[in-house]
Amino acid sequence: MRIRAARIGELAVLQDIERAAGRCFREIGMAEIADDDPLPLGELARYQRAGLAWVAAAAAAPTDPTDPADPTDPADPADRPVAYLIAEPVDGNLHVEQVSVHPDFARRGVGRSLLDHLARRAVADGVPALTLTTFAYVPWNAPYYVRCGFRRLDESALTPGLYAIREREAAHRLDRWPRMCMRRDV
């Protein structure tokens, strides 16, 4: 597994990853989240062009050079995304807008690797922290992020940008389930 910049030609794959990752919400009674559409290609392209979209990529399966149905060039095997993270600057920090791991690659440290990659980028750019918003009681959300070094922010600690994000989430009806803002100092 390696972390690299997302490529413009694979943004539809990122949508597929998000759809697959979202299915597990159905199992905990959050079917609306499972059925929610991923970000549109135009939005993903905006993050990609800004240099704020990364993928965790697994090497492509070995190819058979004699198989005419296999378009992969065995001399230059591509790698395929199995997870992705997009971020944006918010109030002087890097805000994790989305991190999704395909269920076939879950529980292998892939999401943590993406978060650690973003943290290294923040350090290199002189950014003090990562922020995110998440569901408070979903096991692979807030409790997971605590294990990755994030801490819950009290309402009094929210910046104007985080308030604006929470308002957009409420307009999208994500606040039907308890949500929180979190921060990881780098």
- 3-state SS, the chain, equals CEEEECCHHHHHHHHHHHHHHHHHHHHHCCHHHHCCCCCCHHHHHHHHHCCCEEEEEEECCCCCCCCCCCCCCCCCCCEEEEEEEEEEEECCEEEEEEEEECHHHCCCCHHHHHHHHHHHHHHHHCCCEEEEEEECCCCCCHHHHHHCCCEECCHHHCCHHHHHHHHHHHHCCHHHCCEEEEEEEC
Q: pLDDT tens digits, residue range 21-41?
A: 999 999 999 999 999 999 999
The pTM of this model reads: 0.87
pLDDT at 4 over 90: yes
* The pLDDT value given to residue 63: 45
pLDDT at 110 over 90: yes
Please, what are the domains in the chain? 2-63+77-185 (3.40.630.30)
Q: pLDDT tens digits, residue range 143-153?
A: 999 999 999 99
* The pLDDT value given to residue 69: 38
Q: What percent of the chain has pLDDT over 90?
A: 81
Position 86 confidence tier, pLDDT thresholds 50, 70, 90: very high
